[in-house]
Amino acid sequence: IERSFASPLDALYDDFSAPIAAASIAQVHKARLKTGEIVAVKVLRPRIEQIVAKEFRAFSRAARWLEAASKAARRLEPVIFVETLKATAAIELDLRMEAGAASSLAEGLEGNPAIRIPDIVWPLSSRRVLTMEWAEGVPISDIAALDATGADRKQLALAVIRIFLIQALHKGFFHADMHQGNLLVDAQGRLVLIDFGIMGRLDEKTRRVYAEILHG
């Protein structure tokens, strides 16, 4: 973080926690800005770019060997599959892309009272660091905690489906990783989306085809 912004940590944040969540390429901290605002700070792991590049070189070698050695494997196009994963990983390894995706999604869903997307703190976001508004809420996977809040699970299920379909079929830009770990329910009963590293796009023709299939 200090290398990204050329400043000591205590000049950037008033308070900064130990990691509160972690995944394969990054970890998240809870922090307080100089303004008093509570934020989430996502930081890429040290040398993760080099590690990922090394692993994809190995995957590519294996994919090429499979295509050469097996006709059945060739039909599955392992080389193209690995290249697709590699392109996706490159996007995930630049947190500016995630920040932009979150902002674009928030703009597209503005005015929808059933959803909340945390704001990005742009001055403290970079290729390796993402700072965003802290999202307080109950994880949608914690059924007991949801029931304790009085949340209507059937309505929540409908909200998840509707919000996804609005994104995918109406807007054509959607959160492509809406598993239970990335969904919270806040005190107002809104669905809170987090982690915008994997997004999807659908052109108008594809959206129409999917809509007709669902309608059928």
Contacts of 89 (CB under 8 A, 6+ apart): 52, 56
What does the alpha-carbon distance between residue 135 and residue 116 come to, in Å, rounded to a whole number? Answer: 9
Q: Return the H-helix or E-strand segment holding 152.
A: none
Q: Tell me whether residue 142 is one of the annotated catalytic residues.
A: no
Runs of H (alpha helix) within the chain:
2-5, 9-12, 48-69, 71-75, 78-92, 95-108, 143-149, 153-165, 204-215
Choosing from 177, 186, 195, 203, which is the catalytic residue? 177
Strand 191-193, strand 129-133: pairing: unpaired
Tell how far CA 172 is from the center of its chain: 17
What does the alpha-carbon distance between residue 117 and residue 140 come to, in Å, rounded to a whole number? Answer: 15
The catalytic site residues sit at 177
